Structure 1
Amino acid sequence: MIAIIDDEYFFAMLLKKNLKKYYKNKKIKILTKFDLDFLTNNDVEIIFLDIELKNENGIEMAKKYRDHGHNAHIIFVSSHDDFVFYTFGVKPLDFVRKGNLKNDLERCIELIELEKKRKEMQIMIDKKLIKLVDVLYIESQGNKVYYIGADKNIILERRIKLSDVETEHEKYYFIKCHKSYVVNAAYITKARANYVILNKNIKIPVSRSEQKHFIDKYHDYYIWKKDN
């Protein structure tokens, strides 16, 4: 399901009409206010969220949604181009300007399809087929490394150097931040000088020796994400 949350009903109907060109068989629901219960109790994959709701701040509502552990794609919508700079804290997939709907929506749909392919992509590692999108971080212990999932479950165990793991997966934006950790940049929700926070409040240290390397690589990821 796609949810459009916008109190400007005429625009919401226009957006729905345009989305139907891409998603003929998908249910599209228009909400005139933010309804966390509805979003929680329905299989919502994509949310088009107006930043300037009548009595609510769309960015704050998106933070509330993320704080409940929900991971639907969020696309912010606004009449003001400069609002895009205030939205990155809640990791939106994209930003659609009401005055440039056709072009922005076309780019947005391409991004959604790229994300879908990334989530479905599988690679073979040591004769085991895994989805790297399921891996939040990789931890080194002794002479082994462990691929760790969202619930801190071990997805894969290998005998390999952690530096070699980063080299192997760097094109998927896995970044070494510590002698014992490589993190999946897609799941970073907060980055500080000496630690990062991944989904579900998983705190991973950033060592002083890896700090510059990590910042440079994360900057590359951020620029790539913005451009794609």
Structure 2
Amino acid sequence: MEKIKTLIVDDEPNARSLLHNFIEEYCPEIELIGEAENVKSAVKIINNNDIDLVFLDVEMPNENGFALFEYFNKPNFETIFCTAYSQYAIRAFEVSAVDYILKPVSIAKLKEAIEKVAEKRNRNTQTNNIAILKENLLENQIRKIGIHIGDGIVFMDINDIFYFEADSSYTTIHHKKGKDLVVKKIKHFENLLSSDTRFFRIHRSYFVNITLIKKYSKKDGLSITYDDKILLPVSREKKEEFEDFMQMNNIV
């Protein structure tokens, strides 16, 4: 298999050296083309070489890592972020389907991230997800999530999602254009959107967008309604917490 031509971008010499040594020792599929201490140096190397993959630090002086993408209309390289970023930012990486490694770098996470890149190359698929990532980081709330459907990734607007429905090890995402079944447990989405005030787990089977609810009924069993058609139960043990949650977020 053709080697993955790779560039390391980090302002810290020790961080570059550690990653370099890990790659040399544990990642035979990688061919290191060079290292850069800032974005401008990285741009020069990318323009003068056929780079497949960039390991990119986020927090750097003068220009942070995201500035790299301002120099390319459509980046033709994959990116693995190496970051000590906040927990919110990590969720933004996750939902944008961008690979990342938390510092200090571990060998296991490094190999896992490189495997993802290799898989994408084998499928000949290109992911242009940098714009989505930047949108999510700039917002107080996540705007889009990347959903693996078939061999690709569909970026879905959070505001278009009615609710997530548990189905054993799968989850059905009900949205304005229909529904999609994904190979993720509902707990994955609950954790992903744990700080998002638009979503609440009303039942063991349902994680719902409360901003799209048309009606909350306390008659004949607790329930919520979407579009006068979709009726979902609210579990008794969630009633008080759910009502407090809606009140706190100015829904009722």
* Alignment match, 2:10: 6
Structure 1 residues 71 and 44, CA gap change in structure 2 (3 angstroms): same
Equivalence map 1:32-111=2 (5 Å):
32-35=37-40, 36-58=43-65, 60-64=66-70, 68-80=73-85, 82=87, 83-87=89-93, 92=98, 94-111=99-116
Instruction: Show CA shifts across 1:74-115 (max 9, x none).
Output: 0001124623224358752x1111224222112112212222
For 1:12, give the aligned amino acid.
R
1:118 positional shift = 2.0
Query: What is the CA–CA distance in structure 2 between the aligned matches of 1:25 and 1:218, rounded to whole Å?
Result: 31
Kept after mapping to 2: 8 A contact 1:50/1:76: yes
Letter in 1 for 2:103: K
> Structure 1's 8 and 217: CA in aligned 2 closer, same or farther, altered over 3 A?
same
Match of 1:18 in 2: 22
- Quote the Cα distance in structure 2 between the aligned partners of 1:191 and 1:38: 35
- How far did residue 212 of structure 1 move? 4.6
Maintained 8 Å contact 2:55/2:82? yes
Deviation at 1:190, TM superposition (A): 6.9
Name the CA shift for 1:98/1:69 in 2 (closer, same or farther; >3 Å). Answer: same
Indicate conservation of the 8 Å contact 2:57/2:83, yes or no.
Answer: yes
- Please say if residues 5 and 50 of structure 1, whose CA atoms lie closer than 8 Å, have aligned partners that are also in contact: yes
CA pair 100-24 structure 1, distance change in 2 beyond 3 A: closer
Paired position in structure 2 for 1:173 = 149
The TM-score with structure 1 as length reference comes to 0.51
* Alpha carbons of structure 1 residues 96 and 192: separation in structure 2 relative to 1, 3 Å: closer
What TM-score comes out, normalization by structure 2 length? Answer: 0.47
**Which has the higher Rg, Structure 1 or Structure 2?**
2
Corresponding position: 1:213 with 2:178: yes
Counterpart residue identity of residue 79, structure 2: I
Match of 1:130 in 2: none
- Give the structure 2 partner of residue 177 of structure 1: none
What code does the residue aligned with 1:75 have? I
Q: Contact (CA 8 Å) 1:91, 1:189: kept in 2 or not?
A: no
Contact 1:7/1:53, CA 8 A, preserved across alignment: yes
Structure 1 pair 110–25 and aligned structure 2 pair: CA distance change class (3 A): closer
> Structure 1 residues 47, 189: CA separation in 2 closer, same or farther (over 3 Å shift)?
farther
SS at match of 1:77: strand
Is residue 121 of structure 2 the alignment partner of residue 116 of structure 1?
yes
Q: Where does 1:109-188 land on structure 2 (aligned, <5 Å)?
A: 109-119=114-124, 133=125, 173-174=149-150, 185-186=152-153, 188=154
* Cα distance in 2 for residues equivalent to 1:210 and 1:8: 44
Between 3-12 and 30-39, the greater mean CA deviation after superposition: 30-39
User: In 2, distance between residues paired with 1:63 and 1:101?
Assistant: 26
Deviation at 1:219, TM superposition (A): 9.1
Structure 2: unaligned runs, 5 residues or longer? 127-147, 161-173, 190-252
Cα-to-partner distance string for 1:36-88 (whole Å, 9 max, x where unaligned): 34323321101000011122221x325425x5111311000112462322435
What SS class does the counterpart of residue 26 from structure 1 fall into?
strand
Q: CA RMSD in A?
A: 3.7
Aligned to 1:123: none
* Secondary structure of the structure 1 residue equivalent to 2:106: helix
Aligned partner letter, 2:22:
N
Offset of residue 3 of structure 1 = 0.7
Once residues 219 and 211 of structure 1 are traced to their aligned partners in structure 2, the CA distance between those partners, rounded to angstroms, is 20
